[in-house]
Amino acid sequence: MSKNILVLTESPRKKGNSDLLADAFIDGAKVAGHNVTKFITAEKNIDGCKACNKCFTKNKACFFSDDFNELAPIAMNSDLLVISTPLYWFSFPSKLKAAIDKFYSFLIGNVTLKIKESLLIVCGATENQKEFQGITTSYELIANYMKWTNKGVITIKGMHEKKDILKTDWLKKLEEIGKNI
């Protein structure tokens, strides 16, 4: 059965490592017959949640006018959320974190998401696996809180330069994961 998949990315470098990883996953998922939407938060204007609790009161997810209102309907109709991101200071980059924080609107607005599963793909320059703990713990807590089945956490170390991922077999692995999701 085909799934609607939302791939959230946050790479300020087009065709950088996390962007290429997202594209490899997407290629595999499309081959398997899934419908995929890639939403690049780095290119969007998404402010942090202001906790105004006016979510969904003006026929849009966020009371304020920013690009989360473009993302919300896509999220509402997705079965699987995939986050592909670089590691920034042991966590999510700011625009991606702002988008994730605004998922609060679904809770306040009493809106049921179709999302039942999630997957995290994160790469970083660090060689130290421990430095991924902040982002992986945050992701796991979010997935648990939202009652999403965690389909996995993929951490990729040693990605210093823009296209270092091309020197590995990770693109092939992510394409296979996409085919088998």
Give the residue-averaged pLDDT of 161-179: 96
Which fold does the domain 4-180 belong to in CATH?
Answer: Rossmann fold (3.40.50)
Between 26-30, 36-40, 116-120, 162-166, the lowest mean confidence (pLDDT) is in 162-166
Give the residue-averaged pLDDT of 16-24: 97
pLDDT in tens, 94-126: 999 999 999 999 999 999 999 999 999 999 999
pLDDT in tens, 120-150: 999 999 999 999 999 999 999 999 999 999 9
Domain boundaries, the chain: 4-180
pTM: 0.96
3-class SS string, the chain: CCCEEEEEECCCCCCCHHHHHHHHHHHHHHHCCCEEEEEEHHHCCCCCCCCCCCCCCCCCCCCCCCCHHHHHHHHHCCCEEEEEEECECCECCHHHHHHHHCCHHHHHCCCCCCCCEEEEEEECCCCCHHHHHHHHHHHHHHHHHCCCEEEEEEEECCCCCCCHHHHCCHHHHHHHHHHHC
pLDDT of residue 1: 85
30: confidence class by pLDDT, cuts 50, 70, 90:
very high
